[in-house]
């Protein structure tokens, strides 16, 4: 089972199902939790970190015996090769920070990969639920169930006034971060993205790139998430983000209609050129691939390109990444070799759809 997590690119959040899936790629809910009487991971000793891993692994096994979570699987990150850890990053199952150093770290995964629990990342536990489309309420309900299962077995650090105690002060309180990954090409093409997204900080939201904090919005993909957890209930945080996501969806749809009405020939040319390049290129780097795939996905959603699954962009977010290309090749590849293999893989994928 563990090998499947790193050998198979496709995962639940790529399914292209769920509400508003033509614009919202995925919904994520993450809960930060820490164990009592053990220092946070950044100051814990190696023995203390191992103690956290052991306690969590034991809790999961106990829960499985009680038949409350039999499909949760424990993975010791120290047993995974560095490349395999990077594949998990590409699939959004762990963070880049979690993959850097595996000592004293673990991971819990549900068989369908909708649940991943990071052990000893910034906090002792990061409970993450990742769903396709706009399904924040569903992701929150599942995360809450997993949280209850773990809290019945573990003693979490909690203060009556402050709430759950976390390594980063911005997570204190509920410990909840919710986010949606959105594809907003029309807002970018109509030069509205900067203005619309900049206004979100005024209402307690933050905008990041594809792989979270410190990453760029490659392929017109943006992660929108809450900034504040203290003083707000989980339901309020989720509800506010749903409202914001819905407003962004409306803005993106209006921008797409403007493009079709006012610049349809130019839009069709952009989309068809992107499709032509992707289906014929022999060498393509990651940045160019993401830009072209974004244009093609927009063309699919607007009916300019037919016979290609809109799911293709979601899949390519993982399939074309350096780690997975090397995993497929079974060896380390130079940047040039990756560009060649990426082009070949994209051609093959589109031929399957065509």
Which residues define the annotated binding site for ATP? 26-30, 92, 126, 177-181, 208-213
Instruction: State whether residue 249 is helix, strand or coil.
Output: helix
DSSP string, 63-117: HHHTTSSTTEEEEEGGGS-HHHHHHHHHTTSS-HHHHH--TT-EEEEETTSSEEE
Report helix, strand or coil for 132.
strand
Residues making up the binding site? 26-30, 92, 126, 177-181, 208-213
Cα–Cα distance between 194 and 8 in angstroms, integer?
A: 36
d(CA 16, CA 39): 40
Residues 290, 295, 299, 304, Cα dihedral to 10°? -130
**332 and 202 in contact (C-beta within 8 Å)?**
no
Q: Is 177 exposed, middle or buried (0-12, 13-18, 19+ CB in 10 A)?
A: buried
Spatial CA neighbour of 313 closest among 329, 298, 328: 298
Enumerate residues 6+ apart whose C-beta is below 8 A from 248: 23, 182, 184, 187, 196, 224
Location of structure tokens 């204190």 = 172
Distances (CA, A) of 125 to 16, 17, 102, 210, 350: 28, 28, 15, 22, 39
Helix, strand, coil share of the chain (percent; to 5) = 50, 15, 30
333: Cβ contacts below 8 Å, ≥ 6 apart: 322, 325, 326, 341
């Amino acid at each position: 089972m563990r090998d499947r997590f790193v050998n198979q690119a496709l995962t639940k959040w790529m399914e292209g199902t769920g509400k508003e899936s033509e614009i919202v790629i995925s919904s994520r809910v993450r809960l930060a939790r820490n164990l009592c009487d053990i220092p946070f991971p950044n100051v814990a000793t190696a023995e203390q970190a191992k103690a956290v891993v052991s306690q969590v692994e034991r809790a999961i096994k106990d829960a499985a015996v009680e038949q409350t979570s039999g499909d949760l699987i424990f993975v010791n990150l120290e047993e995974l090769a560095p490349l395999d850890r990077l594949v998990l990053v590409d699939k959004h199952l762990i963070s880049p920070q979690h993959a850097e150093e595996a000592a004293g770290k673990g991971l819990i995964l549900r068989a369908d990969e909708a649940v991943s629990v990071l052990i000893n990342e910034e906090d002792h536990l990061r409970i993450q639920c990742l769903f396709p489309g706009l399904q924040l309420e569903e992701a929150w309900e599942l995360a809450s169930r997993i949280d209850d299962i773990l809290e019945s077995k573990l003693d979490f650090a909690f203060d009556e006034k402050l709430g759950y105690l976390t390594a980063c002060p911005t997570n204190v309180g509920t410990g909840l971060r919710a986010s949606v990954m959105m594809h907003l090409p029309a807002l970018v093409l109509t030069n509205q993205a900067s203005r619309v997204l900049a206004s979100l900080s005024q209402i307690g939201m933050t905008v990041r790139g594809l792989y979270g904090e410190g990453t760029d919005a490659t392929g017109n993909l943006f992660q929108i998430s809450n900034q504040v957890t203290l003083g707000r209930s989980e339901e309020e945080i989720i509800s506010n983000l749903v409202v914001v996501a819905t407003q962004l969806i409306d803005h993106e749809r209006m921008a797409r209609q403007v493009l079709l009405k006012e610049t349809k020939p130019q839009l069709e040319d952009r989309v068809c050129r992107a499709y032509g390049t992707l289906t014929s290129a022999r060498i393509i780097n990651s940045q160019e691939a993401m830009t072209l795939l974004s244009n093609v996905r927009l063309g699919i959603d607007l009916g300019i390109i037919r016979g290609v699954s809109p799911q293709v962009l979601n899949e390519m977010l993982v399939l074309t990444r350096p780690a997975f290309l090397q995993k497929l090749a079974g060896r380390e590849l130079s940047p040039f070799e990756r560009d060649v293999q990426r082009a070949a893989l994209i051609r093959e994928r589109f031929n399957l759809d065509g």
